[in-house]
Chain A
């Protein structure tokens, strides 16, 4: 990836449990904050990328009209929450190629719980025709089967996976924008209301309204310590093809390139923001990206603490599991939180001396599981 072009601003909107203010408001709120952190205005943007399940029939071009800007590059995220990281990668390439000078990447949705259920029933043709008529319980039912399979094959336990949820909640308690900030113990996690066995309430994200935004541009536009370089990044969709609830994803195909390009390995990451729609998917990302061997994530989790001051700070803002899942925004929150950490602006949850970290995305549930994966290694530009 480019040495000279990177992330120069980030922002997260207010997150609401009910979509009181409408999608455009949240997209604009996140954008305004990202622009402010870059020291730029909407008028400076000549590239626009947008991700949102709810935006159609609008799109990146009609959003430019709404925002009142003329753009030389317009991009629509197509890979669910696996797509926002590729949007940032492609925005960097667009600036490098001269298609735009500064790009706003904004991702958000404004659901409540029933809105999410309705959306999931109709997310794509295969799901609508061959899964929804069975009463599958949305992603909860599908990821319950992935979790069950991982437990059966590798002996992974709920106590091990629960460490992800409990420690992320501790992180969220230091994040004013997180919607779920009540203390959560392991007992709370283990004894919560059953949703789809073996998943219980705190394994599942809460649908909400909100947006996240990133500004991409020349790194010399911001003062030292406030720009973030993307050292490497990849995406892969529909791997492995044909398997309904696989225990691995596309990350395995580019893991070596990701680390080689970056010049770092998993042990060099000072934090990991792994897409956390369910703890089992965090676990699978840790395996697939090389933090531990396949099937060994249970003992790996037992040997680490995942709080912001722990041995493996994980989803340092609380992740979607505790902040809330504003549709596709979950796939960019990984990046906004990473940039916040790398700029040293994370306040009470700041990872001490954070210089580099990993963000990885996942999404677009098809016939049984999420089809899209992405990952990027980020480092503060000095």
Chain B
């Protein structure tokens, strides 16, 4: 269970995003139905045209590393036994970028340009937010 990690607040704005990860293992981003702009993190309006006519887009669950770090001293004690925590700025093929954790025994092989995929199966329920594994080192 992920209960020991700090948890996001569940709000009317992000409920669908959090449930999609928890129940389906999907990473959802928002798409504006007026101007088609795709963005992350969840907001009740489009970040380009400010319309409130926005919906959800299920992403492929793949990503590419733009930058990364190995965190040796996390803030919250629940992460202390899992160092280094690998944190990455991830570019999604759907357009937006996001910050996400990368897990797995090979996580420290991460490099800029490396490709990622979402964690699947039972392990997923540990993590409160969409979390990735490394699929391929940088080309």
Contacts and interface: CB of A to CB of B under 8 A. Distances in A.
Contacts of A243: 97
A50 B114 CA distance: 45
Contacts of A121: 6, 75-76
A197 B82 CA distance: 16
Contacts of B78: 135
B6 A196 contact: no
Contacts of A195: 71-73
Contacts of A368: 89, 99
B129 A140 contact: no
Contacts of A128: 6, 8-9
B56 interface: no
A149 B75 contact: no
Given A134-B99, A145-B87, A148-B67, A129 B41 contact: yes
Contacts of A126: 41
Contact of A196 (B8, B47, B73, B127): B73
A358 to B, nearest CB: 28
Contacts of B66: 149, 244-245
- Of the four ranges (under 10, 10 to 19, 20 to 34, 35 or more), the interface on chain A belongs to 35 or more
A136 interface: yes
A120 interface: yes
B3 to A, nearest CB: 11
Contacts, number: 126
B97 A135 contact: no
Contact of A135 (B9, B47, B67, B71): B71
B58 interface: no
Nearest to B82: A135
A130 B127 CA distance: 12
B22 interface: no
B94 interface: no
What bracket does the count of chain B residues touching chain A fall in? 35 or more
Contacts of A323: none
A149 to B, nearest CB: 4
B11 to A, nearest CB: 8
Given A129-B9, A133-B7, A242-B39, A197 B75 contact: no
Nearest to A126: B41
A133 B97 contact: no
Interface string A113-145: 000011011000110111111111110110011
Given A137-B71, A196-B73, A199-B69, 16 more contacts: A121-B6, A121-B76, A130-B99, A133-B129, A135-B85, A136-B85, A137-B69, A137-B87, A140-B71, A144-B69, A145-B69, A145-B87, A148-B69, A149-B112, A194-B72, A197-B70
A134 B98 CA distance: 12
Contact of B6 (A133, A199, A244): A133
Interface of B: 5-9, 11, 14, 39, 41, 47, 66-76, 78-79, 82, 84-85, 87-89, 97-101, 112, 127-129, 131
Contacts of B131: 134
* A125, A135, A141, A196 pick with most chain B CB within 10 angstroms: A135
A379 B61 CA distance: 54
B35 to A, nearest CB: 14
A241 B46 CA distance: 13
B122 to A, nearest CB: 19
B99 A244 contact: yes
7 contacts: A134-B101, A135-B82, A136-B87, A137-B75, A149-B67, A195-B73, A245-B67
A135 B71 CA distance: 8
Interface in A151-198: 152, 193-198
Contacts of A117: 75-76
